[in-house]
Amino acid sequence: MLGLALLSGAVLALPSTAAHAADTLISQGKAVTASSTENGGTGAALAVDGSTGTRWSSAASDQQWLQVDLGATATIGKVVLNWEAAYGKAYQIQTSADGTTWTTVYATTTGTGGTETLTVSGSGRYVRMNGITRGTGYGYSLWEFQVFGSFTGTTPGGCGTANAAQGRPATASSTENGGTGAALAVDGSTGTRWSSAASDPQWLQVDLGSTQQICQVVLNWETAYGKAYQLQTSDNGTNWTTVYSTTTGTGGTETLSVSGSGRYLRMNGTARGTAWGYSLWELAVHTGSGGPSVPPVQGGGDLGPNVLVFDPATPGIQAKVDEVFAKQESNQFGSDRYALLFKPGTYSNINAQIGFYTSIAGLGLSPDDTVFNGDVTVDAGWFGGNATQNFWRSAENLSLKPVSGTDRWAVSQAAPFRRMHVQGGLNLAPNGYGWASGGYIADSKIDGTVGNYSQQQWYTRDSAIGGFTNGVWNQTFSGVQGAPAQGFPNPPYTTLATTPVSREKPFLYLDGNDYKVFVPGKRTNATGVSWANGPGAGTSLPLSQFYVVKPGATAATIDQALAQGLNLLFTPGVYHVDRTIEVTRPGTVVLGLGLATVVPDNGVVAMRTADVDGIRLAGLLFDAGTVNSPALLQVGPDGATADHAADPTTVQDVFARIGGAGPGSATTAMVVNANSTIVDHTWLWRADHGAGVGWTANPSDYGMVVRGNDVLATGLFVEHFKKYDVEWSGERGRTIFYQNEIAYDAPDQAAVQNGATKGFAAYKVDDNVTVHEGWGLGSYCYFNVDPTIRMDHGFEAPNRPGVKFHDILVNSLGGKGQFDHVINDVGAATSGTSTTPSNVVSYP
């Protein structure tokens, strides 16, 4: 926990046993990272650039930090904080040898702002300003963060002063003209330059002649500079390792401390800072050996101990699959996680029963590359034939030829069925047709009929089916070939011919013997599967471009990998993070296998993205820690304004849980600030059963808060939060399918009273919104502590022409509480114990 056990005004400082070391500035120009940045023009590096005209500023929330890597262990005697108007009231100065374990050398709760010169005594390679409480309503903002001291042993990395790149062979992706060739960036003259074509991406690389330890790179930019770029090393000029990455390049002369080795060094530009190309007067490379260093995080490698990979010749496949199922069948809140991956080929006599925290997937580029003459089965024998708790599992990228002609997939929330081809029918009910409470299919082809039977609600997107039978309350389709005709409420089918915007989930596959991740492209007004005529539009990324996260990985290493420009592949496991995972690079892919679970410690936000294009988050479960987090996932910083319509961030099969596995607390499960975000299948759940469950044991006020404009939710499941399950303030939001249950455990009417309104709506569109639309939305109440509680309505929205809802309902389960209306004051009240929905076909 980051709280301070200090009396008001107390200062923890050990006065100057190292005053002799306090006179040398050792932080300027060093590598620096931060918990967040306010925007692209206030990056962390601007606090150590020596200029009081540039600054770092954080998001407007507590807690935030800025840390500098000195490159080697140093004795620290003085720290100077030159605050902008937004300053820290309570903060710590901390040192660390490894960037993970911190020692506090100064602390205050009465910071004054302005320029604070602090005498300290400590040592470490890393120095951090750890902000606890802001002094204003803004974030933390430093014109300069200066560390004074002396190095204990060698200077950082023992870095040489000679330019190892000068005069060496250089090549580039392009040149602007014959007078700006690649060699002119390494000729030692600041009067000649390389410049590229005016497009992204572009690169310049130099051959150092032999493999060398690289400790510093100096980029002397002409006016046309790189805003986002990586520095990369290679032994062969083909396979590259990123040793530095930024999306907030400043131009001018950038002196960058790095740690890596290679014969080749490349500046790989991904976003220009001007309308021209990239232009460098000089690219200088400094080498050396010795001195402490943190090696770069390596991409690629094996998939860890909890990924089981099979091919058709693997002996004992059925026995191994059965062994995993025996462990996971009823292991609802355990810590075991598994991914069962099948190489392309044909598998006979397989019945893969899938339990909790188990994912099964084919490793082909097409589902038809991996064929089961058999089944992938979910049933509910462990729970007496009731499938309403068959959560947290998945099936992807397989072709099934069911033994009986029909496969059984009797699941409820957080159990996606994606990119599947069933050469037969699909039964969504458990054996005996017991209850099941909802699920999700996408990008799948079902040759036969989908039997809904007892599923209370279901959403199917961008698929092809041979037919669909039965329905309970809310079955919704968008972009589904063969979908039943619109019929709500009798039959309860909501059918959209297309999905307005969609992009399928990234997936792992084998290209020969090499693992790659396919990242599908965006589709507009889609219908049918994306792979009908080949894999579809998209990009393949080699595994070498991913940090393969395995159990035991720390947040510091994960953030280092992201800073290097690597993507993340979380292998099955539970990961505790003591600081926010910051995803800042455009196009970053964060993919989890086997319901990989991230738990924030000390009340941090588990993961946050920047206001950039094309981030892909998929296949993760965020599980609240015992100290309250303001949010578990934050998509975009507060105040995000950029337009991402051309390349939106997508959040797919990303789930959040507060309680159930033990006490947990989060104010909000998911906050969406970034414009044009696509949230494609999420279940945000404040637990109603399991451990650490109760009105005060697992508090959480909001499920999803949407502030960004043009956000689209497809397959939105949100349940049991204490206030609004969904609150939407962004303009032009759209939701296709919503499933909700109001919190069961409210102790009485007063606990859910919202001013003069009885109860907090399950789905609230804020009063200032002018355009919003929803299709196929349902909310249910089951007040099992006080069945007399009443709700004014399940849905609340401004009454204006641009705010529209289609096919919405409320329901009282067994008469445990009642709704007076469906939306605002429209729609009949629920009554009695018959569990009969009240429907509204169109609003207003």
Q: Give the residue numbers marked as catalytic.
A: 741
Q: Which amino acid is at 210?
A: S
SS3 45: helix
What's the CA gap between 371 and 378, in Å, rounded? 18
CB atoms within 10 A of CB 171: 16
What's the CA gap between 363 and 369, in Å, rounded? 8
The separation between CA 712 and the C-alpha centre of its own chain, rounded to angstroms, equals 16
If we measure between CA atoms, which residue out of 665, 778, 767 comes closest to residue 721? 665
- Looking at residue 556, the DSSP 8-state letter turns out to be H
Token representation of residue 94: 């901390």
Token representation of residue 796: 């609340």
Helix (H) or strand (E) holding 325, with range, is helix 317-328
Answer yes or no: are the C-beta atoms of 702 and 669 closer than 8 Å: yes
Sign of the torsion angle spanned by Cα atoms 240, 244, 246, 250: negative
Do β-strands 439-442 and 417-418 pair in parallel, antiparallel, or remain unpaired?
A: parallel
Residues 6+ apart with CB under 8 A from 326: none
By residue count, the chain amounts to 844
Residues 6+ apart with CB under 8 A from 756: none
Token representation of residue 418: 């994606």
If we measure between CA atoms, which residue out of 681, 651, 656 comes closest to residue 667? 656
What's the CA gap between 711 and 556, in Å, rounded? 31
Do β-strands 457-469 and 425-427 pair in parallel, antiparallel, or remain unpaired?
A: unpaired
Answer yes or no: are the C-beta atoms of 179 and 194 closer than 8 Å: no
Do β-strands 202-221 and 170-172 pair in parallel, antiparallel, or remain unpaired?
A: antiparallel
If we measure between CA atoms, which residue out of 27, 29, 119, 35 comes closest to residue 72? 27
If we measure between CA atoms, which residue out of 473, 428, 476, 419 comes closest to residue 450? 428
Phi-psi region at 132: left, alpha or beta (left = phi > 0; alpha = psi -120 to 50): alpha
Token representation of residue 378: 């979910």
Q: Which residues pair with 727 in a beta bridge?
A: 705, 764
What's the CA gap between 209 and 183, in Å, rounded? 15
What's the CA gap between 428 and 452, in Å, rounded? 5
If we measure between CA atoms, which residue out of 414, 442, 415 comes closest to residue 520? 442
- Looking at residue 826, the DSSP 8-state letter turns out to be B
Q: Is 232 exposed, middle or buried (0-12, 13-18, 19+ CB in 10 A)?
A: buried
Helix (H) or strand (E) holding 408, with range, is strand 406-408
If we measure between CA atoms, which residue out of 560, 565, 563, 566 comes closest to residue 546? 566
Q: CA end-to-end span of the chain, whole Å?
A: 49
- DSSP code string of 457-486: EEEEEEEEEEEEE--SSEEEEEEEETPPPP
What's the CA gap between 163 and 741, in Å, rounded? 65
What's the CA gap between 63 and 130, in Å, rounded? 8
If we measure between CA atoms, which residue out of 121, 134, 127 comes closest to residue 12? 121
- Looking at residue 166, the DSSP 8-state letter turns out to be T
Q: Which residues pair with 758 in a beta bridge?
A: 753
Measured at the CA of 811, the angle between CA 806 and CA 816, to 5 degrees, comes to: 160
